[in-house]
Amino acid sequence: MAQEVFWRRKSLKEMNAREWESLCDGCALCCLHKVEDEDTQEVFYTTVVCHLLDLNDCHCTEYEKRCQLVPSCIKLKPEDVESFDWLPPTCSYRLIHEGQELPEWHPLLTGERSSVIRANVSVLSVYEVKDNEISEDQLIDFVLDENY
């Protein structure tokens, strides 16, 4: 009998670094800027993407240094899973934390990193502009009509 896949038998906090990183589907939706309503604390996604994102393959061009180069970049860590509700509902970290299955287009299931792009669920389907092309005051003008 085949061994059950790691994401079904381990919690996020039990995963090693390689397993944790492999859960990322590469959608880059977390690279979209967000704005928070000061009164309600509700988070809204914008169509503004980080300037470090490679728009050909949805990968950060400076992944190891991203938090130093972009201080507002949030590094997802297993100990922070309780606060993952701001991530899109298709995010693997959020899905696993909520006890759900990975979507059929996830690279761990397809064996192809580009499957998220082909499924049209990546940042490429929503972004309009990079953050270094607008001022921070303009972020509100790019709030998505439908939020995650």
φ, ψ of residue 47 to 5 degrees: the values are -100, 20
**What is the distance between the terminal CA atoms of the chain, rounded to a whole angstrom?**
38
Average pLDDT over residues 34-50: 91
Q: What are 133-146's pLDDT values in tens digits?
A: 999 999 999 998 77
Does the pLDDT of residue 118 top 90, yes or no? yes
Average pLDDT over residues 34-43: 88
Torsion angle of C-alpha atoms 21, 25, 28, 31, degrees rounded to 10:
-40
Average pLDDT over residues 91-114: 94
